[in-house]
């Protein structure tokens, strides 16, 4: 019957199919695989103009972050060149990605997260040593580097450059002014500060010295915030009275200290002042 395959004809067809599959290129045999799908998706979504736009944003964030970080590195700060560059480039990358995916609205949302998220990184640079706090300027510089990167990520290169100049000016040009202000003597009558009277004695007379110190300061109309006794050894005990923040008279405090230093068992008496945080 026409169209009916004989055993020999069917065998020949099978051989031809095997030869065709062996001779086909490997790329054609995997045409419907996942790798081909990823490649096609990349070719469909890749746009050369957008790619160069991203490169410009990241490059400018890198340059401006390096300028800020170089000044920090020169002054041996904990967050130096690499940290500021990474913060600036990272902020630019997130904002640029949001701008490509969600437009201006997406960029605004990501910038809000950058502003709040950089605070966790800045908190790691802040250290408290006793009553002194260090790293505030470093944390503020990291925050400013994130702002520089955010401007670069939104293609606002001119604004990013201007902000970089202001950050550098704040960390360099204002330094002499800060040093000049710090050298101005503190006026006790016009500024609020924290005053502390410290008396060094031995362990046996610490309780009596503490009571006399409290009575003498109250009699001089200086309210006491707290009194603490620190036992360093049997012969070295510090009795410290911290006053409520108010203006004081140096001569009056000197008279109180002079009276305390004459008491039996007192090794040393003094008072010191520190500005409020």
Which pLDDT value is given to residue 275? 60
Task: Tokens 């001119």: give the residue.
Answer: 158
The β-bridge relationship of strands 193-201 and 236-243 is antiparallel
pTM of this structure: 0.56
Which pLDDT value is given to residue 75? 86
Which pLDDT value is given to residue 126? 77
Instruction: Map residue 262 onto helix, strand or coil.
Output: coil
Ranges of residues in the chain whose predicted pLDDT is under 70: 1-46, 128-133, 185-193, 245-248, 275-277
Is 150 within 8 Å of 98 (Cβ atoms)?
Answer: no
Domains parsed from the chain with CATH numbers = 48-180 (no CATH), 193-275 (3.30.70.260)
**Residues of 192-224 as b/e, b for ≥16 C-beta within 10 angstroms?**
ebbbbbbbbbeeebbeebbebbeebbeeeebee
**Residue 4 host element (H or E):** none
Largest CA distance in the chain: 135
Q: What is the Cα Rg of the chain in Å?
A: 37
Residues 6 or more apart from 246 whose CB is under 8 A from it? Answer: 192, 222, 223
Which pLDDT value is given to residue 250? 75
């Amino acid at each position: 019957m026409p169209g009916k395959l004989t055993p020999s004809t069917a065998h020949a067809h099978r051989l031809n199919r095997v030869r065709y599959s062996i001779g086909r290129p490997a790329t054609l045999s995997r045409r419907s695989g996942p790798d081909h799908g990823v490649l096609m998706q990349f070719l469909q979504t890749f746009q050369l103009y957008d790619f160069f736009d991203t490169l410009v944003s990241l490059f400018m964030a890198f340059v401006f972050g390096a300028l800020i970080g170089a000044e920090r590195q020169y002054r041996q700060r904990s967050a130096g060149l690499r940290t500021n560059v990474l913060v600036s480039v990272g902020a630019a990358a997130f904002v640029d990605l949001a701008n490509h995916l969600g437009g201006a609205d997406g960029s605004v949302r990501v910038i809000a997260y950058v502003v709040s998220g950089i605070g966790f990184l800045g908190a790691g640079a802040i250290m408290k040593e006793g009553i002194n706090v260090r790293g505030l300027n470093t944390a503020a510089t990291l925050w400013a580097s994130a702002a520089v990167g955010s401007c670069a990520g939104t293609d606002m290169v001119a604004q990013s450059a201007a902000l970089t100049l202001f950050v550098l000016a704040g960390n360099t040009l204002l330094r002499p002014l800060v040093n000049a202000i710090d050298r101005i003597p503190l006026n006790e009558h016009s500024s609020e500060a924290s005053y502390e009277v410290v008396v060094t004695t031995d362990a046996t007379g610490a309780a009596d010295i503490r009571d006399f110190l409290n009575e003498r300061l109250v009699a001089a109309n200086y309210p006491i915030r707290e009194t603490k006794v620190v036992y360093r050894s049997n012969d070295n005990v510090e009795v410290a009275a911290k006053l409520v923040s108010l203006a004081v008279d140096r001569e009056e405090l000197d008279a109180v200290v002079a009276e305390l230093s004459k008491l039996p068992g007192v090794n040393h008496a003094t008072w010191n002042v520190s500005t409020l945080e």
